[in-house]
Amino acid sequence: MENQESKFQLGARGIIGFVMAIAVVVLLFFFMKGVFSILAWAAPFLLLATLLINYRTVTNFLKWLYELFFRNPIMGIVALILIFFGFPVVAGFLFGKSIFDRKVRLLIEANERENAFIEYEEVDDQMELKQIEYSDRPERNSE
């Protein structure tokens, strides 16, 4: 029999690839840790800015949470726990949503002001339409 080599060989390329993958995961972890710590310090200010920009964003979020709690209590409790531990992320999300809602509202108002009056033409001609007679009972097709 011929000398068969194993198809799985852990050479230098495999080890380097594995080490690079671990390095990327570690870098991602520290990057996300830094982002989360910055959001943790900025969260109260972001929540205050959210209330000043568009307070309805926060009230709608609280209404959604209230309805979720009574519609599905288990999911409501899970959502409360996630909001408690992820408060900086939730504050950042609400801040972004309030800015987006404000931009949309301003675009809608500008569009309404721009299209306040629509030009039209008056037509003097009267179209002649024939009268349709309706019977009390609809006719049935007998087959």
Q: Which residues contact 15 (CB under 8 A, 6 or more apart)?
A: none
Q: Could you tell me the pLDDT band of residue 72, with boundaries at 50, 70 and 90?
A: very high
| Total length of the chain | 143
Contact of 49 with 95, CB cutoff 8 Å? yes
pLDDT at 133: 78
pLDDT of residue 136: 72
Backbone angles phi, psi at 133, to 5 degrees: -95, 130
pLDDT digits (tens, 9 = 90+) for 95-108: 999 999 999 999 98
Which comes out higher in pLDDT, residue 41 or 116?
Answer: 41
Q: Which two tokens stand for residue 37?
A: 């710590």
Domain ranges of the chain: 41-113
pLDDT band at 69 (very low <50, low <70, confident <90, very high): very high
